[in-house]
Amino acid sequence: MNEFLLLPFFLIIIAGSLYAGLARDPYVKIIAISITGGAIMPLIIMRGYLDVASALAVIIPLSTVFLLQLFKKGVV
């Protein structure tokens, strides 16, 4: 596997995680974690774990939807 394909994904993961930590608005934090999760997916695929990647692709958005149910008007 060509390892130079991996480097941009590491960049995106670091940038997304730093942005998630430094942002103020909670919606922006959720978007930044979504970017981080999206950049992790090809790294799992490159190792050959397609089923783990498919399961994660379903679990991460479902968890976010349940988290968003806490964000009603006036709670945050």
Partner 1 sequence: MSGDLFGLIPWTIESPFSSSYVVSPSGDVEIIVWICIAIAVYSAFRVIVEPDVMRKLPFLNVFSFSISGIIALLIPQPLGIIAAVAYFVGSTFESNAIASTWAGGVED
Q: Could you say whether residue 5 binds partner 1 (CB under 8 A)?
A: yes
> x-or-dash pattern for partner 1, window 45-74, by CB under 8 A?
xxxx-x--xx--xx-xxx-xx--x--xxx-
Task: Decide: 16 and 32 in contact? Cβ < 8 Å.
Answer: yes
Query: Does the footprint of partner 1 cover residue 29 (CB under 8 A)?
Result: no
Residues near 46 by Cβ (< 8 Å), separated by ≥ 6? 1, 5, 6
> Where on the chain is the footprint of partner 1 (CB under 8 A)?
1-6, 8-9, 11-12, 15-16, 19, 25, 27-28, 30-32, 34-35, 38-39, 41-42, 45-48, 50, 53-54, 57-58, 60-62, 64-65, 68, 71-73
